[in-house]
Chain A
Amino acid sequence: MSGSRKLLIICGMLLALWGMGFGLYYALFVEHQVLDKLGGSLATSFTEGAKGDLIASHGSLQTYADTQFDYVRSVDVHSHWIGFAMLLIVLGVAFDHLGFRESRRLLLAWLLVVGSVTFPLGVILQTLDRGIIPRAIAALGACLVIIALAATVLGFARTERN
């Protein structure tokens, strides 16, 4: 088995385990509380509105928006890590079909692995800090994956021409 294939398949499996572990932790210790907070804050905001207390109502709505912001990102990160893991494993199996030298394949494999880890990492960091750094990390990861995928398509096409 070539180095690039090994890298993609092993990192893919590790990333899948990491993604599933994160999902399990989130489902067991965080999600139920978050969902309760999400539904509760929305219902409270309208209940307060019905009582005529618009200040409290808007406060609850802000809690709902903040909770929703974190929840969407946490669930996205879980599914993206597992999705990337599947992509790494599947591409790992197919990587010998690429019409590139092994050194280039290894470079592409590293780009895919680093991008697959950093993109969701940047997204989950946004739940801790809404500044520019987490966004930049996510954007960097996304760029790496895009470049690597575009090169992979080219590699498969080159095989065909060869």
Chain B
Amino acid sequence: MDILHNLAFGFEHALTYQNLMFCAIGCVVGTLVGLLPGLGPLATISLLLPLTFSIPTTGALIMLAGIYYGAQYGDSVSAITMKIPHASSIVACIDGYQMTLKGKTGLALFTAGVSSFIGGTVAIVVLAALAPALGEVALLFGPADYTALMLFGFVCVSFVTTGSLLDGLAMCMVGVLLGQIGTDINSGMQRYTMGLSILVDGVGLISVALGCFGIAEITKNLDNREERTPFSGKIHLIPTWPEFKRIIPSALRGSAVGSFLGILPGGGPVIAQFAAYAIDRKVSKYKDEIGHGAIEGVAGQAAADEAAARTSFIPLMSIGIPENAVMALMMGAFIIKGIQPGPNMIASHPDLFWGLVASMWIGNCFLLILNVPMVRYLLSIFKIPYAVLFPSILFFCCIGTYSVNSNLDDVFITASFGLAGYIFLRLSLDPAPLMLGFILGPMLEENFRRSLLLSRGSFDIFVKRPISGTLLGLIALFVIWQLWVFLRSTRRKGPEPKPRASAA
């Protein structure tokens, strides 16, 4: 009954007035920003991250977590009502929007809210049970194993988020190289600083994130110049009992799928919702209706989305390796707050860990009682024309960048990443793996150099250790499989564009 004891301890920390308030603010603001087209969880977190600097550590992390799942809910709301897809809500566009066309918007929103709640609750039980145990496994990891694990993460993320191993890996490597800017920890030598004093401590996380996800996205949206008509239909939130009963089984299935996929490297909400949707189409009692606006098509994926978002915290908090770009950003936030996520985090900051876990459940309740009924007011954000919105987002980018070091030079760094990010977006290179590479780069170098030091310069160490050997073997298999797929597609049908996964 350790878990219950620990959770009770966590609730003690999460249920202070202050932390409750941070949680509520995070959920609402996250939902609001997440609603906006083009601003997914990554952009939302990086925009709001600087505002948490002056808040106490536990409160800041609770608020950030709230922003994260708030943004996810906001994404699915804009997907259901207006068919605006974000990375984390592509599936919600299918059945959710079909339900809106049938005039059942309220039911879809309610289903998404309740399913998220169920998914989140299941995931938190998994999180509370698994994270401490996995933390003990992580203590067995040596530097070579960490190196292999990070490379494995790169390969998985590249494949899942961009659909192309080559593009994603290249972006990871660009991120790693950007992480090299600054002072080398081992020798104290300054690398790639070009003599600029602002680069001595490296490029700021906020500058990279705001440049690539904030400014680049705004510029891209300006190019498209679509005017969105705000949603104006009626919203009846309360479902009938038979409708409500249909939510439960799908949501439970989605929770299980999401919790599992959220833990795997490269996993997370995007892949979880596709998997949950696919499973519901196979096994649901109403599988014929799915695709034409069925409750199950919304419930399963919403639960999986939310569950995966929660369980993706497990590798970060127990092993110390983020498994996707959002978690990489979260890790950056932890480090800015002076906390190193990893096997020792749970032992050294139990109040923080269990407080965060408990606050996730509280945040779930807030989503349900606060955001679901307020949806129709939140949707009024779409009445703001883009001409007003984008200068405001730029303002938040500037204020955020400035307030990290109180240095105006950082704004220029952010602007240059905006330029680079725009080029990446236009060349259809997804900047999400770049973020992961940027955060993991210094850790990768550290562990790589330490492994070689231990083995006296021999690369054997990566193959001989069972954990790293297995992981590297998996990577090799994956690369060979991808090469084979590519060769076969070019040989059989001649030159043709490579099919891209719709998850991109």
Q: Do A and B interact with each other, yes or no?
A: no
Query: Which of B's residues lie within 8 Å of A, judged by CB?
Result: none
Q: Which residues of A are in contact with B by a Cβ distance under 8 Å?
A: none
